[in-house]
Amino acid sequence: MSPTTYRVKGIYCVCCDYTAKNRARYMQHLGTTKHGRNYLKFLERARTEALYTIGYSNKKIQDDFDALIIVKACNIEYKKSAYLEDELKIRSFVKSITKTSFFMNQIITRDDDIIVDAQVHLVFVDKKGKPIKIPDKIFSKFK
C-alpha cells in the first residue's frame, strides 16, 4: 500500500486507502453492524496503516521521539449499515495540520456507498500527555 499525495484547497494531503480484511467477525448476529465501536476500530486500524505508508508506526514514534499520537476529538456520521461479509474500504487523509496536531478525514465505503464519514483531531503528546510539536520529519511527510 502506498500513499497518494494530492492538493485540496491549497493543502497537500497524504491519502491512504485501507481495506478491512477481518470484516466478518465484527458483524452482529442480524447481519448489520449495530455498534459504532466496530467502525471506530476500523478507523483506528486505517490510521495505523496510514502511518506505515509514510515510514512510521506508533511504536517508532514513541521510540524515536518520546511521543504518542492521541485522539482529541472524533466527529462521526453513520450513514448506512454494513452487512456480514462486506468488504469495507477506509480512505484516510490529513486535511490540515498545526504545530502540535492534525485533522484527518476518514471515509468508510462499501463499493460506491459511503457507510461512515469521520473527522478525527489527533494530537502529538509527550509521556505525561502534554501536547508537543509534531516532529519535523513527520510534519514534512504531511505537507
Residues with Cβ within 8 Å of residue 65, at least 6 apart in sequence: 135, 138
Least confident of 10-14, 56-60, 77-81, 105-109: 10-14
The mean of the pLDDT values for the chain is 80
C-alpha angle 79/82/84, rounded to 5°?
Answer: 170
Number of continuous H segments (helices) and E segments (strands) in the chain: 3, 6
Cα–Cα distance for residue pair 121/139, rounded to 1 Å:
15
For the segment 77-120, what is each residue's pLDDT rounded down to a tens digit?
A: 999 888 777 788 888 889 999 999 999 999 988 889 999 999 99
How far from the centroid of its chain's Cα atoms is residue 13's Cα? 13
Q: What is the pTM of this model?
A: 0.79
pLDDT at 85: 73
For the segment 109-140, what is each residue's pLDDT rounded down to a tens digit?
A: 888 999 999 999 999 999 999 999 999 999 98
